[in-house]
Amino acid sequence: MNNVDQLGEEPAPETQHINPDEHGRRKPTLLVALIPIFAMMIFLGVGYIAFGLNAEPMIILSAAVAAVVAKFLGWTWNDMVESIAVKMKKTWPAILILICVGLLIGAWMAGGTIPMMIYWGLRIISPQFIGLTALLVTSIVALATGTSWGAAGTVGVAFMGVAIGMDANLASVAGAVVAGAYFGDKMSPLSDTTNLASMITRVNLYEHIANLLWTTLPAYIISALAFLFVGLNNEGSGEISSESIDGMLTSLSSGFDFNLLVVLPVIVVFAGSLLRMPTIPVMLSAAALAMINAVVFQGISLQNTVGAIVNGFNLEMIERAGFDAVSGGEDLATLLNRGGMNSMMGTLLIAFCAIAFAGIIDLTGSLQVMVEKLLAGVKNIFGLAGATIVTCLTTIGVTCNGQISIILPGEIFRPEYIKRGVHPKVLGRTIEDAASVIEPILPWTAAGAYMAGTLGVATLDYLPWAVQNWAGVLVAIVLAATGMGITRLTAETSAEEGGVENAGGPSATMA
């Protein structure tokens, strides 16, 4: 398949709208359809970015504007509520998975599974290849924890300290940290943004992650080769002495009992994925094993273990003789004090607000009008992917919010991908390539400001070295142009994807 391959034109709409002519409801013009979008840009731009207000009320205000537009077009309040409910019904199974992810992180922290991954990741530091090592270790930590910010703010900061001591190129090391952090976050089943992309496109979580490899792995290989080349041209500087890293290793080894049984929950998750077992039962099984490890091996009481899966793990829960939670340092506490079902509530709240907004504008047909204008003249996959990428880049650039930049393009383009015979998992992959991993290389976003402030290197300085973050978009464009990695829908799967089929609930299987 190449960039001139024609897209299927068989309609497979996600939802059936009542014909406006039958009930006096009017189809919006492009100007009317854009009013809620412009409202969201203004509310988020002024309230969220300029004044630092919470994003959720800004989205609700945008939904209120969309409701006024819907009322103007002849839709009733009950129609709006029903439309929102339909969207919530479709995303609810994936929401359950997101809550289970929080539970799993808390259990894996308490059971020593994630701490063991971090410990051995830190042990492989190489002085000559500090950029490559920073990329690899930060990837491992982010993959294990599901958080790019946590990985960059802990082991990433440790690497920056090492780089300063070695008089290394700080911009390159910072770029390696950012690249590794977002690679691990993107590929982690514990990541909130990865789960959000899976949820909004209604693609099974593990199928979504596997499909990400088409663009993420080549970008990661390119990034690793770049740092390998830099390392081969450096002579190295002997052994690394880093008080921060040594302190973290000592605290980890004294606070946790590392043994082979600690990694059993990871094996369960991977086995469940390979055997295509139901996602939620596998996650709960892995969490149960981790809880047993917490009580039996880590010396954590049952009460604290249960507290870890609800409210998150805390180093003070460790009751091992000779371990002092304070001596672990702020870096270790920042990295490990996380997880729990409550940790996912912030992401879910934004998702609920955005789904309310999307449900109303979808009811009025505004999404359909905007997509029709945006894709006017687009006849191939290259154009479809290009329109998706431009929309994602614009959304992340304007809203500066990673969750919104996943939800809105997902809602807008999913029906169009199905209509044109392209599997929604291609959309989910493209959204991640052009939104979530682009955020930290834009100086004015929260992620860009956080990375710059945390690592002590300006965003534009580390941007060229964060190869993983910008190369994924280029790979996505190449795949769209050649047709490689583009999954097409059959007539049967097109009908399934266009219906109320969910992709992440108890009936879903891992892929």
Average pLDDT per 10 consecutive residues for the chain, totaling 511 residues: 42 44 77 89 81 85 94 93 85 77 86 84 72 90 80 75 71 94 90 88 91 95 92 59 70 89 86 76 90 94 94 87 66 76 81 84 82 80 90 79 82 88 94 91 80 84 94 94 88 53 35 32
3-class secondary structure per residue, 301-330 = CHHHHHHHHHHCCCHHHCCCCCCCCHHHHH
Q: What's the pLDDT at 508?
A: 35
Amino acid symbol at 269: V
Name residue, tokens 């392209």.
Answer: 422
Helix (H) or strand (E) holding 201: helix 192-201
Helices 402-419 and 55-72 cross at an angle (nearest 10°) of: 40
CA-closest candidate to residue 498, choices 507, 489, 509? 489
Give the Cα-Cα-Cα angle 228, 230, 232 (nearest 5 degrees).
Answer: 70
Enter the pTM of the model: 0.68
Q: What's the pLDDT at 6?
A: 43
> Tokens representing 221?
């290989």
Q: What's the pLDDT at 10?
A: 41
Q: CA-CA distances (angstroms) from residue 373 to 210, 423, 424, 427, 491?
A: 32, 22, 20, 19, 26
Whole-number Å distance between alpha carbons of 388 and 386: 5
- Tell me the β-bridge partners of 142: none
Q: List, in sequence order, every beta strand (DSSP E) within 28-93.
A: none
Q: What's the pLDDT at 456?
A: 82
**CB of 192 closer than 8 Å to CB of 101:** yes
Q: What's the pLDDT at 282?
A: 84
Enumerate the domain spans of the chain. Answer: 30-90+349-494, 91-345
Whole-number Å distance between alpha carbons of 472 and 437: 9
Q: What's the pLDDT at 491?
A: 59
**CB of 156 closer than 8 Å to CB of 110:** no
Amino acid symbol at 242: S
Q: What's the pLDDT at 79?
A: 92
**CB of 163 closer than 8 Å to CB of 122:** no
Amino acid symbol at 349: L
> Tokens representing 413?
């383009």
**CB of 219 closer than 8 Å to CB of 475:** yes
